[in-house]
């Protein structure tokens, strides 16, 4: 049976989770955000504050609207606070075992009608769904970075997802002002399935010193009209996340286009994670544009 989604729980307040909390609250939903530690919650709150302050400075939000957003959002470390949510979305790091354990826990905490959703970009939604006793009420709900800006949301159905659940989640995405697309459960879904072979190839090209990072990025911006070059996109996504996505896609597809370029693993190990760590292919000021060093 179809239901209106008005309260949403978000577990994980990293780059994506915090962005998603903002999107939900801006659309008027009540949001409960949870992360594992007070520090992680504080970082999540700071991300939302920074993003909404930027929107206010650009005249996209009034100060009152910014305040209203925070009034609709409750952030904390207690997972049971999502108990009354109509839908709970997890946005924790891409580790299957962790996500399965979280889904099993949410399955116990939440009422039987609550929809459980994952923002995974490459793990199997089906494998996550079977960690619960409600696999027909589990979907993928995959946002793009930066979540407040990118219009696409991929809604992933498994072979057992109830059509009503799918329809409710598509309706939610539309209410958020997004353009939802529906896809089956395959690593990378539609957009990452196409995008990451290209990003990986760009990292290889840079690794082979075929061209500079600036020229690789400039070629795609000025030759193909893309808003950002591929190495800047990798820094935006996060090198650790990009590596995990490629690994998962390669494991499933065995397509060598998805075999992660060695430089990505080296950068991940060395902590060059892109924007979030201040250095990736480029070096960043706090949250600003690349500083060329």
Instruction: Confirm or reject binding of residue 151 to ligand 3HC (CB under 6 A).
Output: no
Verify binding: residue 124, ligand 3HC, rule CB under 6 A.
no
192 among known catalytic residues: yes
Contacts of 151 (CB under 8 A, 6+ apart): 177, 178, 179
228 lies in the binding site for ligand 3HC (CB under 6 A): yes
Query: What is the size of the binding site for ligand 3HC (CB under 6 A)?
Result: 20
- Active-site residue, 200 included: no
Cβ contacts of residue 68 below 8 Å, gap of 6+? none
Partner residues linked to 218 by β-bridges: none
C-beta of 24 vs 55, nearer to ligand 3HC: 55
Q: Which stretch binds ligand 3HC (CB under 6 A): 48-56, 83-91, 167-175, 207-215?
A: 48-56
> Among residues 9, 44, 140, 148, which is the contact residue for ligand 3HC, using CB under 6 A?
148
CA angle 282, 286, 292 (to 5 degrees): 30
| Token reading at 29 | 């939903």
CA distances from 86 to 101, 168, 230 (A): 20, 11, 37
Angle at 253 between CA 116 and CA 137, to 5 degrees: 15
Active-site hit among 51, 124, 135, 192: 192
Candidates 121, 122, 129, 200; catalytic one? 121
For 187, the 3-state DSSP assignment is coil
Q: In the annotation, is 201 catalytic?
A: no
List residues near ligand 3HC by CB under 6 A.
Answer: 51, 54-55, 58, 60, 121, 144-146, 148-150, 192, 195, 227-228, 233, 236-237, 241
């Amino acid at each position: 049976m179809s239901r209106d989604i008005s309260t949403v729980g978000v577990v994980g307040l990293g780059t994506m989770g915090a962005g998603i909390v903002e999107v939900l609250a801006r659309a008027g939903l009540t949001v409960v955000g949870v992360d594992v530690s007070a520090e992680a919650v504080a970082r999540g709150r700071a991300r939302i504050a920074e993003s909404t302050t930027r929107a206010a400075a650009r005249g996209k939000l009034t100060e009152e609207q910014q305040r209203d957003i925070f009034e609709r959002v409750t952030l904390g470390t207690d997972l049971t606070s999502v108990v009354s949510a109509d839908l709970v979305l997890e946005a924790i790091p891409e580790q299957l075992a962790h996500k399965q354990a979280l889904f099993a826990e949410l399955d116990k905490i939440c009422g039987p009608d609550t929809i459980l959703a994952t923002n995974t970009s490459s793990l199997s939604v089906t494998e996550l769904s079977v960690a619960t006793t409600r696999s027909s009420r589990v979907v993928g709900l995959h946002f793009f970075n930066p979540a407040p800006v990118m219009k696409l949301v991929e809604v992933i159905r498994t072979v057992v997802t109830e059509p009503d659940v799918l329809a409710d989640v598509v309706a939610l995405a539309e209410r958020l002002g997004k353009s939802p697309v529906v896809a089956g459960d395959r690593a990378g879904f539609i957009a990452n399935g196409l995008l990451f072979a290209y990003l990986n190839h760009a990292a290889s090209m840079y690794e082979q010193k075929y061209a500079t990072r600036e020229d690789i990025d400039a070629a795609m911006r000025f030759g193909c009209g893309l808003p950002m070059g591929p190495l800047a996109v990798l820094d935006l996504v996060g090198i650790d996340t990009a590596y995990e996505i490629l690994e998962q896609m390669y494991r499933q597809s065995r397509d060598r286009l998805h075999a992660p370029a060695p430089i990505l693993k080296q950068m991940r190990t060395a902590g060059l994670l892109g924007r979030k760590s201040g250095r990736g292919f480029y070096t960043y000021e706090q949250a600003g544009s690349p500083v060329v060093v």
